[in-house]
Structure 1
Amino acid sequence: MKVAIYTLGCKVNQYETQAMEQTLRARGHEVVPFSQEADAYVVNTCSVTAVSDQKSRQVIHRVKKQHPDAVVAVCGCYSQTHADDVRALGVDLLSGTGDRQGFLDLLEEAVVQRRRIESVVPSFDRRTFEVLPAGGMTERTRAMLKVEDGCVNFCTYCIIPYARGPVRSLPLETAVEQTAQLCREGYQEIVLTGIEISSWGRDLKNGESLIDLMEAVCRAAGPVRIRLGSLEPRTITEDFCRRAAALPNLCPQFHLSLQSGCDETLRRMNRKYDTARYVQSVELLNQYFEHPAITTDLITGFPEETEEEFSKTLSFLERCGFAQMHIFPYSIRPGTPAADMPQVPKAVKEERAHRAAQVAAGLHRKYLEGCVGRTYPVLFEQPRDGRYFGHAPNYMEVLVDGADLHNQVRRVTITGTDGEVLLGTLAEA
């Protein structure tokens, strides 16, 4: 059969989609673009915000209208947390965030039998990690390796613990095997991803933690680069930094989730750290790594955020000197405690996001300027505007004059910046 998959949301969803695509091909099916005719259309949904819910509904509604004779199957976070809403859309197969292999079994059944099927298992009933085939994002340049699923932090703005359930970890031995396989397939960089990778190992109850996984994966990868996904700031300890700094193929980019630089706001968010602990993490990384890229996320206009609290956040951003930031005006997520708190007007949330973005842009330029004169091994990905584009180990974008550099790692001397990306020349081999 021909199957088309539409993916909304995070890298974990992207990972799970490519795993389903690999499995479908292994079973003899054809995976086609979502715009083409297919026997079945899969919508892998997101529910991180109310806007994500709306986008998921729109895609489902559109594909049912455009392809009335095809099977429409829905999985992912939105169908896990809002099964009744998805059911009302009249889909043929309704599933959640678990058992992707079983979901494909049901998809085959739905296409053959032409009957509606449901299989949504309560997320908190899950206790084991579903091992899926690892794979790539961009033509064998960078691969993702999902090492963890679930979250039990219960931040007041987030529904993901209800969508994904408790923490489950990919066993270390399996992670090593999948890493070695990805290296044999020709990938030059592997990204460790998950819902909350800082919690890796918590469920294994054998004393292993994320740094143990990192050491094992880095050894298995040889010269292939290993990059970390988003980290909880408390992961960064002296022991973590000492051991991480000894890994030559670990990319010195650390995405430390922040959300607010004000302690009062962090408490309302139910974050598990304060600004003092966050600064400690930043200082440790700067102590153990040379010019590391510390990146982050920020929510502006969280419920009850005052102008004074937001001013504290802006000052905190400057203090941390982030290399890059993702900034989001707070979006109400129905079903979470924050949705019932006094809300900040939309215009204020957006205005604060704009001011934070200006600070972020200045910090980004400053970090890039600090890269000028350095030489980095750059993993090249694709042509761009007559030059070639790639990423340095710190994940900063690099442009050079050159051709036929795809999937090559070449040393580049950084000669300047346009404020957005680094400009360089290929160093002598």
Structure 2
Amino acid sequence: ADLIGGSGDRRGFLDLLEQLARTREKAVALDDPFRRRVFEALPAGGLEGRTRAMLKVEDGCTNFCAYCIIPYARGAVRSLPVEQAAAQARDLAEAGYRELVLTGIELSAYGRDLPERPGLAALIAQVCRAVPGMRVRLGSLEPRTVTEDFCAQLAGLPNLCPHFHLSLQSGCDATLARMKRRYTTERYLESVELLRRHFDRPALTTDLIVGFPGETEGEFAQTLSFLQTCAFAQMHIFPYSRRQGTPAAGMPGQIPNGEKARRAHQGAELARAMEKSWLSSWMGQRVAVLFEEEKDGFWRGYTPQYIEVRGKGENLHNRVCPVTLTAVGEGVAFGVVTEEEAP
């Protein structure tokens, strides 16, 4: 490699690239992640012509889950101040974006480093109010973020998408403990029930790691049962991947790759069944779809619950249109555009 850089100074990396082009001298520019204390605010946005923009509001993680290398590379929690986040959101709305996704390495830790410790709910509320005509969607949340107060603060925001991605990783308490996750299945289920009580038909999605060291058949069975209890709209399923330098890499009971693949396949089958059930429950409903692109004769877009919808119409790009859902496909819903939004 001619140039090696870390994630602490992305603007500086561009300068190093230009320097390399001039001098042809190889360089290594790595800082100590644990000494980072300042959030590097980067220009928010998306690709030209897109409908959805990303706004990164947090960096760093100090959870140190047993399988994860991220805290060693990203360092401590750093947050973009609320006022700056709201200002960037307004700029993106003025640029024509119709949806904004708030992202972070550990989004739930937002604000811990700021003087007034505003917290994630305060950030979301201020951003939503800054751009009332723009959808606001959240990135992945740590389950314990969801409390009665969190839901009460956010449930009245009309432009907050009722789509919540709660990282689960395992539905077995013994496995969660080995993973050094900081919640139990009981606490996770409490979050699920709170969201369903405060929001109208929210989409709940999650991540799952199968084949974690020491995971027995019985523990995996507990996970499958818990997944059905939660009835997720969609799941991302990963076989455990060994990362050098993490506690899990040296744990006994490493699962063979073939067995991890089998469990991932079994989990994916369950995920597809739950997703089909979720989509089927929306048939006949009239939903608002933000259309993104035309492909294979259909316009493709998403509801606030992140249901992918395909329909036909003329020049629907970046328009929010009412659609009556009529059929379920593989991971998508089809519908009839009943009324086109004015340009």
TM-score by length of 2: 0.97
1:238 paired with 2:148, answer yes
- CA distance in structure 1 between the aligned counterparts of 2:31 and 2:117, rounded to whole angstroms: 30
Q: Which amino acid aligns with 1:352?
A: R
Deviations 1:228-270 (A, max 9, x none): 0000000001111111111101111100000000000000000
Instruction: Give the match's secondary structure for 2:11.
Output: helix
TM-score by length of 1: 0.77
2:84 to 174, 182, 186: 174
Instruction: Give the match's secondary structure for 1:135.
Output: coil
Shift of 1:139: 2.3
- CA distance in structure 1 between the aligned counterparts of 2:83 and 2:110, rounded to whole angstroms: 13
Shift of 1:100: 1.1
Shift of 1:113: 2.0
1:346 to 257, 260, 264: 257
Check the 8 A contact 2:51/2:318 in 1, yes or no. yes
Shift of 1:214: 0.1
Q: Higher relative CO (CA 8 A, sep ≥ 6), structure 1 or 2?
A: 2
Check the 8 A contact 1:227/1:251 in 2, yes or no. yes
1:286 paired with 2:196, answer yes
Check the 8 A contact 1:125/1:165 in 2, yes or no. yes
Deviations 1:385-422 (A, max 9, x none): 21111111111100112231111111112122125211
Deviations 1:267-288 (A, max 9, x none): 0000010000000000001101
Q: Which residue of 2 aligns with 1:271?
A: 181
- CA distance in structure 2 between the aligned counterparts of 1:362 and 1:122, rounded to whole angstroms: 45
Check the 8 A contact 1:167/1:203 in 2, yes or no. yes
1:132 to 42, 59, 80: 42
- CA distance in structure 1 between the aligned counterparts of 2:191 and 2:48, rounded to whole angstroms: 32
1:145 paired with 2:68, answer no
Shift of 1:116: 1.9
Check the 8 A contact 1:197/1:210 in 2, yes or no. yes
- CA distance in structure 2 between the aligned counterparts of 1:265 and 1:137, rounded to whole angstroms: 40
Unaligned 5+ segments in structure 1 are 1-90
- CA distance in structure 1 between the aligned counterparts of 2:15 and 2:117, rounded to whole angstroms: 36
Q: Which runs of 4+ in 1 moved over 6 A?
A: none
Deviations 1:47-105 (A, max 9, x none): xxxxxxxxxxxxxxxxxxxxxxxxxxxxxxxxxxxxxxxxxxxx222210111111112
1:316 paired with 2:226, answer yes
Q: Which amino acid aligns with 1:327?
A: I
Q: Which amino acid aligns with 1:418?
A: G
Q: Which residue of 2 aligns with 1:212?
A: 122
1:113 paired with 2:23, answer yes
2:284 to 359, 373, 384: 373
Q: Which amino acid aligns with 2:280?
A: E
Q: Which amino acid aligns with 2:316?
A: L
- CA distance in structure 1 between the aligned counterparts of 2:25 and 2:264, rounded to whole angstroms: 47
Instruction: Give the match's secondary structure for 1:388.
Output: strand
Check the 8 A contact 1:364/1:419 in 2, yes or no. no
Check the 8 A contact 1:238/1:284 in 2, yes or no. yes
Deviations 1:177-229 (A, max 9, x none): 11011011100101001101000001114131000000010011121100000
Q: Which residue of 2 aligns with 1:261?
A: 171
Q: Which residue of 2 aligns with 1:194?
A: 104
Check the 8 A contact 2:321/2:339 in 1, yes or no. no
Check the 8 A contact 1:301/1:348 in 2, yes or no. yes
Shift of 1:110: 1.5
Instruction: Give the match's secondary structure for 2:42.
Output: coil
Q: Which amino acid aligns with 1:375?
A: R
Same amino acid, percent of matched pairs? 58
Q: Which amino acid aligns with 1:229?
A: G
Q: Structure 1's 137 and 294: CA in aligned 2 closer, same or farther, altered over 3 A?
A: farther
Unaligned 5+ segments in structure 2 are none
1:391 paired with 2:302, answer yes
Aligned residues: 339
Instruction: Give the match's secondary structure for 1:136.
Output: coil
Q: Which residue of 1 aligns with 2:320?
A: 409
Q: Which residue of 2 aligns with 1:12?
A: none
Check the 8 A contact 2:323/2:337 in 1, yes or no. yes
